[in-house]
Amino acid sequence: MVTINDIAKQAGVAKSTVSRYLNGGAVSEKTKAKLDAIVARNDYTPNKFAQSLKAKRTHMVGAIIPRLNSYATNEALKGLENSLRLSKNQLLITNADQNREREIEAIYTLAKQKVDGIVLFAAEITPEHEKAFEESATPVVIVGQSHPNYHCVIHDDEKAGYSVGAYAVANGHRNILVFGVDEADQAVGITRRKGIEKAFVGKDITYTFVKTSFSMMDAYKLALEVLPETKATFIIGATDNIAIGIMRAAHELQMDIPNRLSLAGFGGYEITEAVHPRITTVHFPFHEAGILAADILLQLIEGKEMPYVEKLDNHLMIRESTQAIK
């Protein structure tokens, strides 16, 4: 089955250009002629569901979030909502509660509500997501994950992972324990871990990896089991939530931070400033990610072509939870 993505690739144009063409929007005569020929050659029939959604601008944008208690998502939503409000657009928020089926359902529901575009805060992009994007024919910006066929705002997770791993090595730590997450989340489960491990290449490092979820409580329970047996002197949590769960377990086990264990996380969550000792972390510009997602989506809605990937920088914040080996 030929899709909009296939048509776009054959024509050498953006998917948004093909959507605009199929919905009767403005494209150049040269582009229209090229698309006419490709559509005819492939016997392509536009999706009836998508065409039924054709309407004038509603000035509504949908956002699909993974859960309501995510600091990273909430900070990004603030930037997204503020930018959309300033441009006279309304934001509709749907909580998928970390359920992939609910995410897919939300894409169709928002399209039926005739939103001008969708921002998806994604853990992963499955074929079912792609099918829903294709059939809804609504401009989409993905925040947090990279995909070759969609416009994405991502963080430099490999750099973040490397900065923490390299910091641990530079401070004399040779036995390191990482609490990571499932590879289904490519950014955190694969790319961030890859950065950490890259810092250990060519070094005499004893490295242990254990898998947990994004839940602070799950990390806490796992740490209660793992910490009494570990000989690691530096522990890395894949997120600040995970690091805080580890910190709670260490306190209960009377394992002093940082004298017995150095501890670091990722995100730069506000709570890392409130606990004692304050947690070494990598600060991600979540608020700026929301602003950038809004800008890209509004440009796509206007029919403009935009880069497919925008990568945001981050920086290591060294605090009292880590120290050099004495």
What pLDDT shows up at residue 25?
59
d(CA 133, CA 37): 24
**Phi (first) and psi of residue 172, to 5 degrees:** 90, 5
pLDDT of residue 35: 81
First to last CA, the chain: 63
Q: Which CATH number fits domain 1-46: 3.40.50.2300, 1.10.287.3510, 1.10.260.40, 3.90.180.10?
A: 1.10.260.40
Pairing mode of beta strands 234-237, 262-267: parallel
Report pLDDT digits (tens) over 52-109: 445 568 899 999 999 888 899 999 999 999 999 999 999 999 999 989 999 999 999 9
SS3 state of residue 308: coil
Q: Which CATH superfamily is domain 157-284 in?
A: Response regulator (3.40.50.2300)
HEC profile of 155-181: ECHHHHHHHHHHHHHHCCCCEEEEEEC
What is the arithmetic mean of pLDDT over 256-268? 97
- Domain boundaries of the chain, sorted by first residue: 1-46, 157-284
* pLDDT score at 47: 60
